Amino acid sequence: MEIKQTVLAILQELTGEDLSTHLDDDLFETALLDSMDTVQLLLELQDQLGITVPVSEFDRNAWNTPAKIISQAEALNA
Amino acid sequence: MINLQPYTNPLYFAYLFVAFLPIMIALSHGVRLHRYETVVGLGFIILMFTGTKWHEGVALLVYLVIEWLVVTGYRRYRRAHNHTWVFVVAVLAAIAPLVIVKLTPLFSKSPSLLGFLGISYLTFKAVQMVMELRDGTIKSFTTWQFLRFLIFFPIISSGPIDRFRRFTKDAESVPSRAAYGDMVAKGVHNIFLGFLYKFILGYFFGTVMLPQVGRIALHHHGAFLGLSWALVVYMYVYSMYLFFDFAGYSLFAVGTSYLLGIQTPVNFNKPFASPNIKEFWNRWHMSLSFWFRDFVFMRVTFFMMKHKLVKNRIHLSQIAYLINFLVMGFWHGVTWYYIVYGLFHAGAIILNDSWLRFKKKHRQQLPHNRWTQALAVVITFNVVCFSFLIFSGFLNQLWFGPFR
């Protein structure tokens, strides 16, 4: 639960929008996220949750919606 | 001695089809003929380097030994250690042969002995493996997997650039019967569309029109900056040629891969319909721009953000764009026009980014309808065509001769 809140907070910081009701929106298709934001997201995950995500691990197709980002973060945290 | 350059004429496809028939029959019955695939692949590669091209074949062999030493050496090191300087040395060693080949024309009239068709594309693959070993997303691989990835023959000469983990997964599995049926249909469709693009449209723009328009434009070399209407026409004709020739080649490469049950990534997605430059790079030579995005842009920004080298986020992205496109320019070749092409696109995408920020802030005041959308596409198209005029090197000839 805590991870979900943190990820949504990071995403809100990056996109300027509350995505808690848009968990399945494609963030790249809607141009809410770009490569710069992505890098910032990876660094925030590291700083706030201690989850290390190397850049190679980041595959756009597996990280393109808030729901997928949350589940990736939860999987990497376990 | 017979020599076959990939996809240069329709007969090549007849040879492909005959050689592929056993592979395709086996795949549709759920079997992959690993040994036979290797023989076919090596056969087509050997036929690229027969006759007067034998020295390029030798260069390829030398190159593969060097890259194998670098990548497996780094893998061995990485098992127990992870120093940044070793990683940097490994990347530099992996790109060293390409750098030598690219720099040789500056110092010598004859091309480097290390050069061969496809060296740039093989280097992308090798460097990518070093970077993924560093990140730990590739941990082990066999020499066989390494070679199969590096010299997969449908894409050896000019891409698209695949990724090791994606490619290896495809090469070591057999698609379901239905999935393979879809792949064959897509593959055949791609190859026929490629015929239209490369052999008809690319030929028309590149071989029929371009030399004539070029001759007329060169007559005006005495005018201010050589400007003439013929030059404007040259810009559009060259852009069409570049697209249809390269997109046609890419369709062949992707289509051929599909017949082998390998889903090589596509390279073009209606690039001239892009509403802005940022989107253009998501649609033009995609496997190259995504490679640069993932292995240059993102890594540069990650490094700079992590070490807080640049505080301002906007400046940081601008620096990263500049580095990204400058490296891309140099990769095309060390001439003023490739480097200016890179700088031009860096400038264009930086401008584009600030416009997008402005647009986001003033969303209420700015009109947005299909006319503004169409205007955006027209502007982007012209900016892109102008960049291709720089890229073509024609301005070099127009401004500095020689004139006949």
Residue B177 φ/ψ, nearest 5 degrees: -55, -45
Residue B245's alpha-carbon distances to A61, B195, B303, in angstroms, are: 29, 10, 37
What's the structural domain count of chain A? Answer: 1
Q: Quote the tokens at residue B160.
A: 């698209």
Contact B114, B63 (CB under 8 A): yes
CATH for A60? 1.10.1200.10
Q: How many CB pairs under 8 A join A and B?
A: 40
pLDDT at A56 over 90: no
Residues of chain B with Cβ-Cβ distance to A36 below 8 Å are 301, 313, 316-317, 320
Task: Give pLDDT tens digits for B313-353.
Answer: 899 999 999 999 999 999 999 999 999 999 999 999 999 99
The parent domain of residue A59 ranges over 2-77
What mean pLDDT is predicted for residues B377-397? 97
DSSP 3-state assignment of B277? helix
| Complex ipTM value | 0.89
Task: Give pLDDT tens digits for B125-156.
Answer: 999 999 999 999 999 999 999 999 999 999 99
Burial letters B313-339, b for 16+ CB under 10 A, else e: eeebbbbbbbbbbbebbbbeeeeebbb
**Catalytic-role residue among B55, B83, B332, B362:** B332
User: From the CA of A28, how many Å to the nearest CA of chain B?
Assistant: 11
Contact B316 A34 (CB under 8 A): no
Contact A43 B305 (CB under 8 A): yes
Contact B278 A34 (CB under 8 A): yes
Q: Does B302 touch chain A (CB under 8 A)?
A: yes
Kindly state the DSSP code that residue B173 receives in the 8-state scheme. S
**Degrees to nearest 5, angle at CA B346 with A56 and B358:** 95
Q: Does B301 touch chain A (CB under 8 A)?
A: yes
pLDDT at B42 over 70: yes
Question: For B132, which residue in chain A has the nearest alpha carbon?
Answer: A56
Is position B29 annotated as part of the catalytic site?
Answer: no
Rounded Cα gap, residues B338 and B341, in angstroms:
5
Q: Does A65 touch chain B (CB under 8 A)?
A: no
Q: List the single residue in A40, A54, A56 with the smallest CB-CB distance to B305.
A: A40
Rounded Cα gap, residues B197 and B248, in angstroms:
5
Contact B302 A43 (CB under 8 A): yes
Q: What is the pLDDT of residue B403?
A: 72
